[in-house]
Amino acid sequence: MKIIVTNNLEELSLQAANLIIEQIKTKPNSVLGLPTGHTPLIMYQKLVQAYVTGQVSFAQVKTFNLDEYVGLPRTSPDSFYTYMRQNFFDHVDAKPENIFVLDGTAENLADECANYERELENYGGMDLAILGIGQDGHIGFCEPGTSWQSRTMVVTLDQTTLEANAKDLANSSVMPKEAITMGLGTIMEARQIILLASGESKREIVNKALKGEASEAVPASILQTHDNVTIILDKEASGQ
């Protein structure tokens, strides 16, 4: 596990974007796993800048988002689909047919999960998954107690996640209590993983996930058992 401590979120974002660009340069049709949330916002800005200035093209890249709320249509301002379009997809040359985001309004969510796994497998799995971390240690929306073998599934969100994420919702939306997420088993098959954490509120969980016992009680601790993980922290999250 490689741990990079940066001075601030700006630097963290630049480092993350550079690793993604490097991956795409090595393999232009890379398959990426992508997160939403606050932490990667500037990273997406850096990727957009890199595209606009001709440093990278996403034309052949395939993207699979980690998760989505159950019950929010894609058109909702709070769906992760909308987040991805607004912050990234609409500003780069990613092709709609190469963009995969779970549909939390699918009539049959079990089928939606199985299809997502199949689609990912068809493309050879993820070359690189970028993750954030929740204050309870979740990655994707795999909350504490999630099986390390889990595959894409419907989950009930923990109270801490509901509270953290409800703040961001447009007032027209009711906070979804469930989500659809890649499983820990799915995420761990990514050939390379980058985890990003910023701010003091993540310090304690980052410390537990990286240095504590690897167990299902702290989902992100599973990363200790992956052989190609880079953790990018800012000073606040690292405690340095």
Catalytic residue IDs: 67, 136, 138, 143
Show Cβ contacts of residue 166 under 8 Å, excluding neighbours closer than 6 positions: 175
Q: Which stretch binds ligand F6R (CB under 6 A): 49-57, 101-109, 137-145, 203-211?
A: 137-145
CA–CA distance from 8 to each of 3, 42, 180, 235 (Å)?
15, 11, 31, 6
Residue nearer to ligand F6R on the CB measure, 59 or 229: 229
What amino acid is encoded at 35 in this protein? Answer: P
Q: Would you call 119 helix, strand, or coil by DSSP?
A: helix
Of 236, 207, 237, nearest to 224 by C-alpha is 207
Site for ligand F6R in 139-158 (CB under 6 A): 139-140
Per-residue interface string for the shown chain with ligand F6R, residues 81-120, x marking contact by CB under 6 A: ----------------------------------------
Residue nearer to ligand F6R on the CB measure, 132 or 176: 132
Rg (alpha carbons) of the chain, rounded to whole number: 16
Closest CB 153 distance from ligand F6R, rounded Å: 14
Verify binding: residue 134, ligand F6R, rule CB under 6 A.
yes
Element (H, E) at 9: helix 9-26
Verify binding: residue 9, ligand F6R, rule CB under 6 A.
no
Total site size for ligand F6R, rule CB under 6 A: 13
